[in-house]
């Protein structure tokens, strides 16, 4: 997108005046519903969904022994198809020891450090994406269930505040696109409602699988804000808010997006 | 990790047209892109995909730069006899992956 079109878009947002506000539950739509028929077909069939390549890699990693403890994920968790069912629908989850929510990627790495005595996997590495895709795949079709209690409420509020805060050189808030102008177009692309139902997902633009944080970094760079580092608490708070905002929507992992 | 996934029917009637879908894990680096410091990233693509049915070639594709990563190749063939569909992907840097699927024809 050129600077000029970005500025025009920003100006049109200002003209739109007071936004539509938060999306009522009956009007919530997954990015899936806004995609072309062809892209939906790629996602719908496991035989054509390239995200399944990562899921299969994740299954192999799940069963492979790792670290100084020489244990595989199966040693504690057993068959992921039962033990990991619904887990991704509850993440980011609150970690009592850390006193804050952690996302699925961080949970995998904590598990590696504590139980397997293995070095952490780098964010967006093939292995970490494969493991999180495999774990999240077990929740496909299940509704997102983020439960908020007194401990996690401050983090949810921080995420909500970040979603509504104008930032970057374009001085845009997430909500200005994703709450107020979803369904309209930004350049050639339809603006989705930003429900993270299918992460980690295969983006045709990336030609690969990526995490929600990679997507958030894209958005922040798009509004010319400085993106947070992977695993930053600000990101996890925002992820928590986005998942809470999508409560009840079904997990699609591994989703495909344009 | 070099993985390929093949989806084909395991049973078919004689003379039936069967759909075959294949998905190969590959970056398909075009050879035209540069790094941030301006160095050319060497080409790394799948060059050829072949499918043989009981030893007879039934489908072949030559692949070129600018094809997507993790190429999905879907085609159809006629179920003539019980046997094996053998798939092979061959590419740059010694890339070679084979996969088979059995089909029983009644």
Buried b (16+ CB within 10 A) or exposed e, A103-130: bbbbbbbeebeebbebeebebbebbbbb
Q: Is the peptide bond before A200 cis (omega within 30 degrees of 0)?
A: yes
Other C-beta atoms lying within 10 Å of the C-beta of residue A100 = 18
Q: Is the pLDDT of residue A21 over 90?
A: no
Q: Show which residues on chain B lie within 8 Å of chain A, measured between beta carbons.
A: 1, 3, 5, 7, 21, 23, 25, 27-28, 68-70, 72, 74
From residue A211, give the alpha-carbon distance in Å to each of A170, A197, A216.
24, 11, 9
pTM score, two decimals?
Answer: 0.89
Q: How confident is the model at residue A22 (pLDDT cuts 50, 70, 90)?
A: confident
Say which of A47, A50, A56 has its CB closest to residue B7: A47
For residues A81-102, average pLDDT: 95
Chain A neighbors of B74, CB-CB under 8 A: 48
Q: What's A51-137's CATH class?
A: mainly alpha
Q: Is the pLDDT of residue A16 over 90?
A: no
> Domain map of chain A by residue range?
3-45+148-257, 51-137
Token digits for A50?
């390239």
Is there a contact between B70 and B36 (Cβ–Cβ < 8 Å)? no
Encode pLDDT of A167-185 as tens digits.
Answer: 999 999 999 999 999 999 9
Encode pLDDT of A26-36 as tens digits.
Answer: 899 999 999 99
CATH number of B4-105: 2.60.40.10
- Residue A26 is given by DSSP the state G
Q: Which CATH number fits domain A3-45+148-257: 1.10.150.120, 2.60.40.10, 1.20.58.390, 1.10.760.10?
A: 1.10.760.10
Please report the pLDDT score of residue A1 as a whole number: 47
Q: Is A47–B69 a contact, with Cβ atoms under 8 angstroms apart?
A: no
Is there a contact between A47 and B5 (Cβ–Cβ < 8 Å)? yes
Q: How far apart are CA A211 and CA A106, in angstroms?
A: 12
For residues A56-84, average pLDDT: 95
ipTM of this model? Answer: 0.90
> Domain map of chain B by residue range?
4-105
For residues A42-55, average pLDDT: 95
Query: Which residue from B92, B84, B98 is spatially nearest to B24, judged by alpha carbons?
Result: B98
Q: How far apart are CA A84 and CA A72, in angstroms?
A: 15
A15 among known catalytic residues: no
Q: Which residue has the higher pLDDT, A28 or A19?
A: A28
Report percent pLDDT > 90 for chain A: 89
- Active-site hit among A15, A73, A174, A219: A219
For residues A184-189, average pLDDT: 91
Encode pLDDT of B56-98 as tens digits.
Answer: 999 999 999 989 999 999 999 999 999 999 999 999 999 999 9
Is there a contact between A43 and A252 (Cβ–Cβ < 8 Å)? yes
């Amino acid at each position: 997108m050129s600077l000029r079109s970005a500025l025009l878009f920003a100006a049109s947002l200002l003209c739109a005046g007071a936004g539509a506000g938060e999306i009522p539950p009956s009007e919530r739509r997954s990015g899936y519903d806004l995609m072309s028929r062809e892209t939906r077909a790629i996602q719908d069939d496991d035989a054509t969904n390239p995200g399944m390549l990562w899921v299969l890699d994740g299954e192999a990693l799940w069963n492979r022994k790792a670290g100084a403890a020489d244990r595989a994920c199966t040693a504690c968790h057993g068959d992921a198809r039962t033990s990991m069912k619904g887990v991704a629908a509850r993440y980011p989850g609150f970690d009592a020891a850390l006193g804050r929510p952690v996302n699925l990627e961080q949970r995998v790495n904590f598990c590696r450090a504590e139980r397997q005595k293995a070095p952490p996997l780098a964010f967006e590495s093939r292995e970490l994406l494969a493991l999180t895709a495999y774990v999240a795949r077990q929740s496909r079709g299940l509704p997102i269930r983020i439960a908020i209690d007194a401990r996690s409420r401050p983090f949810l509020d921080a995420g909500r505040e970040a979603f509504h805060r104008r930032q970057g050189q374009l001085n845009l808030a997430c909500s200005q696109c994703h709450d107020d102008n979803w369904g309209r177009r930004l350049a050639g692309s339809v603006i989705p409602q930003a429900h993270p139902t299918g992460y980690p997902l295969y983006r045709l633009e990336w030609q690969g699988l990526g995490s929600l944080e990679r997507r958030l970094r894209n958005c922040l760079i798009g509004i010319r804000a400085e993106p947070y580092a992977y695993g930053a608490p600000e990101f996890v708070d925002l992820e928590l808010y986005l998942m809470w905002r999508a409560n009840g929507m079904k997990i699609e992992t591994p989703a495909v997006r344009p | 990790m070099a993985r390929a996934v093949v989806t084909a029917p395991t049973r078919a009637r004689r003379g039936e047209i069967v759909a075959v879908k294949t998905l190969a894990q590959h970056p398909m680096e075009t050879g035209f892109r540069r790094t941030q410091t301006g160095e050319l990233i060497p080409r790394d693509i799948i060059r050829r995909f072949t499918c043989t049915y009981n030893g007879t070639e039934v489908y072949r594709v030559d692949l070129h730069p600018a094809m997507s990563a993790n190429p999905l190749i879907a085609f159809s063939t006629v179920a003539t006899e019980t046997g094996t569909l053998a798939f092979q992907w061959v590419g740059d840097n010694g890339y070679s992956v084979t996969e088979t699927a059995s089909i029983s024809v009644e």
